[in-house]
Structure 1
Amino acid sequence: MSLTRRELIKISALAAAATMVPTLSSAGLPGPVGRAAKPLRILILGGTGFTGPFQVNYALARGHKITLFNRGKRPSPEWPGEVEQLHGDRNTGDLKSLEGRTWDVCIDNPTSLPRWVRDAGKVLKGKVGHYLFISTISVYEDGTKHGMTEDAPLAKYPGKDAMAETQETLRADIEHLYGSLKALSEAEAHKQFGKNVTIVRPGYIVGPRDETDRFTYWPHRVAQGGEMLVPGDGSDPIQIIDGRDLAEWMVRLAETGTTGVFNAVGPNYTMSMDAMLHGCQAVTGGGVTMTHVSADFLDEQKVETPIWVPAKNNAFEGYGDVSNARAIATGLTFRPLATTVTDLLAWFGSLPAERQAKLRDGLTREREAELLAAWHADARS
């Protein structure tokens, strides 16, 4: 299946927009966490979404002092330590609660608009020693390149005034604006905060709290058993990162004062689609039979499947094969796939029954059955 730019950018944007589940308060830390050599005062812009709570819990365990800044629209979890809450609205430029304050570190989680970085700079320039910005691999101009490093050319903004863009205009033309506005946000971060900037570019963020169901679809489907449609021949590379690995690594970057630009993708080996699915099967024990269906057939049927991107003859084939060497060199580590799948399914199983009954991504069983029947009837099978 050939993904359009709109489809791929939409997938990337969903990761940033994933909502919080208030009942989940644990970061899922695997064991005792050592204290940092020096406690930091950390300001987190956002902090109640997908990865933010993992940052908070890990930072508290490391002995840091945490301040959150957000609109206060979502209930906060019960933190395992003292967390200061400041409220404002970056949509309207209301950052008054940040004025006159200083922090060692600022982690900016939700920003997709350059003016949000500009406005933060007006209040925080000279008030924070280190600024960490969550970007995306969607900033790259040419998605066909395999092994893209952080030095690859970035998407060019097609509009007239990036500072006039809003969340509404972004949503209206996300296909053309998402990656380029993130790229301009990166540039604005350097303009406002100078050399003390860290740019983190994730791809697919997965694990507990992921409300998009992009990755959840696969272990959930494997656990159901039976004949399962698998896109491609199984060899296409898949890159994912557990939200906890991303969050904890960012806190460690703050502790070491590490600056630069980093692709935050995993794992630290080449994982194929089949390897991912067999890993899910090892955890779930699902009695599943995998039927590989060609990209051409899926294209003809106008079918999309989450996470998977064909590794050949696709405008975004390189997005499953992005270089993470620079991030690994700074200490990015990865939980085993089995841990991510186990914890994800435990979290998903704790959600209300009506939420579990209808996944937000992937094929319905009915549609999958139709496609498999058509595939088996096709001469190419």
Structure 2
Amino acid sequence: MTDVLILGGTGWLSGRVAEMWADAGASVTCLARGGRPAPYGTTLVTGDRDDAQAYAEVSVREWDEVVDISSNPVHVAGAVEALGGRAKHWTYVSTVSVYAENDAPGADESAEAVEPLGSDDEPDYGRAKAGAEASVRTALGYRAAIVRPGLIVGPGDPTDRFGYWVGRFALAAQGEVLVPDTTDRGAQVIDVDDLADFLVSVGRERWTGVANAVGDPVPLDRVLREAAQVAGHTGATRTADDAWLETHDVAYWMGPRSLPLWLPAGMPGFWTRSNAVFRLLGGRLRPLRETLARTLADERERGLDRERRSGLSRTEELTLLDDLHGPAA
């Protein structure tokens, strides 16, 4: 039986990886702080990775596969130090945010990365992941896979980014929806279950190297059009240009009072990363419409009008639409 250790295993992505390994017949242990249950069929070991003794219980065993998704470079360095000698293979889940530039379409894994985060530097997600990658590569290079996902989407997404659009079109029903200028904008998404399946695959095969785990590039207007169709939206859309949205304090990409997935101009490389290695390794991508349908079901269950981590509230959106239309004649 394959012995798998998931550093995490109770969160969104790590939980799906744990479930898939268990479904494949592996003996799965999840090391997490507790407070949330481990997936059915797995074993939870409680440990806080800020504690020097966090790995004590799992460091006395041999592991066929270790999976880590942490963005804390100190945690990652501590894990490879404590467990690296006990692991036949290690999969580290990084991010395409480690790349230094976003202006070259089709860039692959050889593109320059940012400098790792220093101990005295301001927090930076991409640089933190770069630092974690460096620890994994230095200690486990010939036994490690470094997987760099792009935008992870699908049911359970805690960031509320991708689901905003299909959820908003459903909530609006026959009403108007505010959209950004989609000219030369796009998205590159991967369904959480497609990513989890890939992570299990590289661990099972003990593949080593670096792979972008990203979907095929899709123009943003197609994403919005298919989201509206899946949601059954019958109203109109109203487009605002970048300058107008910026003036009205609407943010790019994610977070409160944003239009999710909308990127500043001049970033074609951000949504056109090469996924050739992913494809060659057998990575599978379900149709966008299927992911949208899965996401809509999840959005309805969680509440279309709930408070979101990303996007506009419907009240904010309607106010902006009134401003965009201007005073009545």
SS of 1:42's equivalent? Answer: strand
SS of 2:152's equivalent? Answer: strand
SS of 1:357's equivalent? Answer: coil
CA deviation digits over 1:300-336, x for unaligned, max 9?
A: 22212112214x33xx442122221111111111122
1:348 aligned residue = 299
2:67 aligned residue = 107
- Superposition deviation, residue 158 in structure 1: 6.1
> Conserved in 1, the CA contact under 8 Å of 2:109 and 2:212?
yes
**1:1-381 to 2 correspondences below 5 Å:** 39-77=1-39, 79=40, 81=41, 83-93=42-52, 94-109=54-69, 111-157=70-116, 159=118, 162=119, 173-174=122-123, 177-223=124-170, 224-225=172-173, 226-266=175-215, 268=216, 270-304=217-251, 305-310=259-264, 312-313=265-266, 316-351=267-302, 356-377=305-326
SS of 1:126's equivalent? Answer: helix
Q: Distance in 1 between matches of 2:298 and 2:247?
A: 36
- Superposition deviation, residue 341 in structure 1: 1.9
> Conserved in 2, the CA contact under 8 Å of 1:309 and 1:317?
no
Q: Distance in 2 between matches of 1:158 and 1:330?
A: 30
Q: Distance in 1 between matches of 2:17 and 2:102?
A: 29
Q: Distance in 1 between matches of 2:117 and 2:210?
A: 23
Letter in 2 for 1:71: R
Q: Distance in 2 between matches of 1:368 and 1:356?
A: 12
**Alpha carbons of structure 1 residues 185 and 158: separation in structure 2 relative to 1, 3 Å:** closer
- Superposition deviation, residue 235 in structure 1: 4.5
> Conserved in 2, the CA contact under 8 Å of 1:148 and 1:321?
yes
Instruction: Give RMSD over aligned pairs.
Output: 2.1
SS of 1:68's equivalent? Answer: strand
SS of 2:45's equivalent? Answer: strand
SS of 1:181's equivalent? Answer: helix
**Alpha carbons of structure 1 residues 89 and 145: separation in structure 2 relative to 1, 3 Å:** same
Letter in 2 for 1:129: K
**Alpha carbons of structure 1 residues 285 and 237: separation in structure 2 relative to 1, 3 Å:** same
> Conserved in 2, the CA contact under 8 Å of 1:232 and 1:293?
yes
**Alpha carbons of structure 1 residues 157 and 340: separation in structure 2 relative to 1, 3 Å:** same
Q: Distance in 2 between matches of 1:76 and 1:206?
A: 21
- In structure 1, the gaps of 5 or more residues are 1-38
Q: Distance in 1 between matches of 2:59 and 2:117?
A: 34
Letter in 1 for 2:56: K
> Conserved in 2, the CA contact under 8 Å of 1:222 and 1:277?
no
- Greater shift after overlay, 111-120 or 185-194? 111-120
> Conserved in 2, the CA contact under 8 Å of 1:230 and 1:290?
yes
- Superposition deviation, residue 363 in structure 1: 1.2
CA deviation digits over 1:51-103, x for unaligned, max 9?
A: 122112222222222111111122334x1x3x222121111222111121111
% identical aligned pairs: 35
- Superposition deviation, residue 338 in structure 1: 2.1
Q: Distance in 2 between matches of 1:264 and 1:331?
A: 11
> Conserved in 2, the CA contact under 8 Å of 1:242 and 1:335?
yes
SS of 1:180's equivalent? Answer: helix
Q: Distance in 1 between matches of 2:245 and 2:268?
A: 16
> Conserved in 2, the CA contact under 8 Å of 1:235 and 1:274?
no
Structure of higher RCO (CA pairs closer than 8 Å, 6+ residues apart): 1
> Conserved in 2, the CA contact under 8 Å of 1:42 and 1:66?
yes
**Alpha carbons of structure 1 residues 341 and 201: separation in structure 2 relative to 1, 3 Å:** same
**Alpha carbons of structure 1 residues 158 and 125: separation in structure 2 relative to 1, 3 Å:** closer
SS of 2:236's equivalent? Answer: strand
> Conserved in 2, the CA contact under 8 Å of 1:55 and 1:248?
yes
1:17 aligned residue = none
1:14 aligned residue = none
Q: How many residues are treated as equivalent by the alignment?
A: 317
SS of 1:216's equivalent? Answer: helix
Letter in 2 for 1:265: V
CA deviation digits over 1:7-58, x for unaligned, max 9?
A: xxxxxxxxxxxxxxxxxxxxxxxxxxxxxxxx52111110111112211222
Q: Distance in 1 between matches of 2:183 and 2:9?
A: 36
> Conserved in 2, the CA contact under 8 Å of 1:104 and 1:130?
yes
